[in-house]
Amino acid sequence: MTENILSKGERARMSIMDASYQLFIEQGYHATSMRQIAREAGMALGSIYNHFPSKDEVYKAILADRHPYHQILPVLLAAEGDTVEEFVHNAARALIDELGQHPDFLNLMLIEIVEFEGRNMVGLFQTLIPNILELGERFIRVKGRVRLIPTPILLRAFLGMFFSYYITDILVGEVMPADMQADAFNQFVDIYLHGVLASQTE
């Protein structure tokens, strides 16, 4: 039904973005040429330039439309939990499950980090701020005593910790010793919530 609503130009633009996304994910940005994109999209090379003046503009459009944070933040916002513990556990699980369903997300993030040194993230981050602030509000609203840590730092630590869980699981999960895998997710949640220092009662 959506295709019927889209104009011919919008459909062409979407085809270019679909083809480019696939090629970028498979072989990286710099290894992909506009000629390859045209061939993958089933279009003449000159036609692509009617929609995008350069490959860089194609990439920026993909980043704006398909960066993982667009999918991840709504999933985190939808996580349930009446207490900080429940919310963090469910949000972390939802984050890791969402990443697991979209292995291409990691490729796109790595392209931005390795090939662009993150220079396109400033503009993208500005568009995501409302959702990020809304996620911060969730931390404040749920029941539980949270240390006086700035909410943006809580969110940054959350994303950093559970992205690292996901990435290390992909990279070395199959060869990790059993004691590094046993109940690892719950241990990560516990470390995020309570740190690594033993309380005085332990």
CA end-to-end span of the chain: 60
Specify the higher pLDDT residue, 80 or 125: 80
| pLDDT surpassing 50 at residue 125 | yes
pLDDT in tens, 156-181: 899 899 999 999 888 887 788 888 88
Burial of 91 per CB tally in 10 Å (0-12, 13-18, 19+): buried
The conformation of residue 81, written as its DSSP 8-state character, comes to -
Question: Which pLDDT does position 201 carry in this prediction?
Answer: 61
Question: Which pLDDT does position 202 carry in this prediction?
Answer: 54
- Give ∠ CA 3-124-4 in degrees, rounded to 5: 5
Q: Tell me the two tokens of residue 176.
A: 């990790």
pLDDT in tens, 61-108: 998 888 888 888 888 889 998 899 999 999 999 999 998 888 888 888
Average pLDDT, the chain: 87
CB 154 within 8 A of CB 135: no
Contacts of 73 (CB under 8 A, 6+ apart): 128, 131, 132, 135
pTM across the whole model: 0.81
